[in-house]
Amino acid sequence: MHLNMLKAKIHRVTVTHAELHYEGSIAIDGVLLDASGIREYEQIHAWNINNGKRFVTYALRAEEGSGIISVNGSAAHRAQPGDLIIIAAFAQLSEAELEKFQPTLVYADAHNRISHTNRSIPKQMAAA
């Protein structure tokens, strides 16, 4: 049996652009992609903290250190500049792979720079 598990999360990044007439995707600062292990063109889920809207698209690499989080195409109807979003990627893992698996969690500051990383959700946050 394989389970669909959280592979990586980029937590509370600020949308910098919303480009409706672009082909699609979310362009993400390359530093955040590398730190999270999310690959360019990988399917991602995005959850908008401001309005509760959720969508699925794929990741594109934005310039490293730019702080860019650009929601593009039809997804631009679900997030606007200034909105806070969570970006997540999932992986299918076997029972054996789960024994040693931990997700990569990347937390961002107000400028979409890495504030810290973790391999598990802190207990006080999980209980809240």
Active site members? 25, 58
Residue 44 carries which DSSP code? E
How far apart (Å, rounded) are the C-alpha atoms in residues 73 and 19?
A: 6
Spatial CB neighbours of 16, under 8 Å, sequence gap ≥ 6: 67, 68, 69, 70, 81, 112
- Whole-number Å distance between alpha carbons of 87 and 70: 12
